[in-house]
Amino acid sequence: MKKHLPSILLKKILQNGSMSYPSHKPVSKKFMKEWEEMVDGLIYDERLPEWRQIGSGVWSKLMDKYEIEVAVYLMKALDQKENYKDLKQTLEALKKTKDCDVAKTLNVVLNFSKQGPQFYCYIKNIKDPLLNSDVRRISNENLAFERNLQLRNLNSQPSKDQ
């Protein structure tokens, strides 16, 4: 059965006030290893080194674990083809809790999710993604990464002659 992860997350937030992550503490290597496993298949392999930098402190000084967790839930929901409108409502509800910096979370989704640029444009109401240099750059990178993935998959298939 398909779960709507952000709604589950939102329910927990509204019931508990937060998911009780201490704010602004560095992300540990153990935590990052778990998150690296959770994004398996959600982000392109070429983005993994940058994702690992979160654990080394490059991003973790700017974000807390909670924001990273929300971003991963959003990436999973996007991968499961969840409705953008529902996800936008989830983000709007998160803004009201003040437990999550939605702008930072959305930035993680933009930079790492395979569907990040499209979702970002929807949330920010960007009509022409080519006019936004970050969106354009990430979209172009994602296209190249997708081609690489397809080539790897094609090359890993056994030939019919064998």
Does residue 134 come out as left (phi exceeding 0), alpha (psi in the -120 to 50 range) or beta?
alpha
Asked if residue 161 belongs to a domain, the reply is no
Give me the half-sphere count of Cα atoms (radius 13 Å) on the Cβ side of residue 162: 3
- Which distant-in-sequence residues (6+ apart) come within 8 Å of 48 by Cβ? 36
Band (pLDDT 50/70/90 cuts) for residue 33 is confident
Residue 39 covered by a domain:
yes
Q: Is residue 125 part of a domain?
A: yes
Q: Report the pLDDT value the prediction gives residue 78, as an integer from 0 to 100.
A: 95
- The parent domain of residue 18 ranges over 5-156
- Alpha-carbon span 105 to 95, nearest angstrom: 11
Residue 162 lies in a domain: no
C-alpha Rg value of the chain to the nearest Å: 17
Judge whether 128 lies within some domain.
yes
pLDDT tens by residue, 69-112: 888 899 999 999 999 999 999 898 888 887 788 998 999 999 99
Q: Please report the beta strands in 38-104, taking only residues with DSSP state E, as ranges in sequence order.
A: none
**Where is pLDDT greater, at 60 or 19?**
60
pLDDT the model gives residue 13: 43
Residue pLDDT, tens place only, 47-64: 988 887 765 655 556 677
* Predicted local confidence at residue 20, as pLDDT: 39
| Domain annotation covers residue 94 | yes
pLDDT for position 39: 86
Domain count for the chain: 1
Residue 150 lies in a domain: yes
